[in-house]
Amino acid sequence: MLKAWSLTARTVAAVLVAAALASCGGGTAPPTRDEPPAIVDVVDDGFHGSLVDPPLRPPRVVLRDTRGGAVDLSRLDPDKATVLYFGFTHCDDVCPTTMADLAVARRLLPPALADRVVVWFVTVDPGRDTPAALQQWLRRFDPDFIGLRGPAEVVHRAERSLYLPESSPGPPTPPQPAGHHSQEAAGEDYQVDHAGSVYVFGPGDTTLLYTGGTTPQQYADDLRRLLTT
């Protein structure tokens, strides 16, 4: 018998805040919503990620890709699986690890399925993540990954719509002793708090949520299942 339990949107937000604190060493309070809390059922049905039911709607915001083209996050290709992640290129831990894992996951899929996986990386640090820098960084992992940028208020609106804590730059960080771990960019004087969660929007309005610890093979298994069922 499958195990199932219901979570209010407020609880989902708290879980995501906890994931952000664990991965980035900081975070903000859970976002508030004007609408009544939705009921979210997380069902143990064989996916490695958490299946969110009812599915979340993709953010209704328009961002710019690294070539200046407009990308409406709410207009998804119904025949593809779209992976959405918020991060920044100066991150020294969670962001590059996640991108590397997703790149390996795509390579584990047959080419016909890999072509149906879209990865969107939304920068939460557009000041340093210029289009050229963002594109160059993503190419280290997969040339098909798409970098997206936008004003902070638009990115924050997208984060809130997914119950994520808003990303924010931290105060200037003093020099740290050897061995100290932080998300600070080498040679820079600030860091950025952000969530480390991965969203996958698949065919049939399916939403999967990952909050850490997922292997490339597990991502690949879930993507294969989404695209073949």
- Model confidence pLDDT, tens digit, residues 24-75: 544 444 444 444 444 445 455 689 999 988 899 999 999 999 999 999 999 9
| 210: enclosing H helix or E strand | strand 206-210
What is the reported pLDDT for 195? 83
Q: Is residue 179 part of a domain?
A: no
Give pTM, 2 decimals: 0.78
- Model confidence pLDDT, tens digit, residues 89-139: 999 889 999 999 999 999 999 999 999 999 999 999 999 999 999 999 999
Q: Is residue 131 part of a domain?
A: yes
Q: Which two tokens stand for residue 45?
A: 């049905």
Based on the number of CB atoms within 10 Å of its own CB, is 223 exposed (0-12), middle (13-18) or buried (19 or more)?
A: buried
What's 134's domain CATH number? 3.40.30.10
Q: Is residue 56 part of a domain?
A: yes
Contact status, residue 190 vs residue 173, Cβ threshold 8 Å = yes
Mean predicted confidence (pLDDT) in 215-221: 98
For residues 171, 176, 179, 184, the Cα torsion angle rounded to the nearest 10 degrees is 30
Residue 71: give the domain boundaries. Answer: 4-174+185-228
Q: Is residue 77 part of a domain?
A: yes
Q: Which two tokens stand for residue 103?
A: 């790149």
Q: Is residue 205 part of a domain?
A: yes
Q: Is residue 180 part of a domain?
A: no
Q: Which of 47, 43, 64, 32 is nearest to 200 (CA)?
A: 47
CA separation for the pair 78, 82 (Å, rounded)? 9
Domain count of the fold of the chain = 1
Give helix 216-228 / helix 94-108 axis angle, nearest 10°.
50
- Model confidence pLDDT, tens digit, residues 128-184: 999 999 999 999 999 999 999 999 999 999 999 999 988 876 544 344 443 333 344
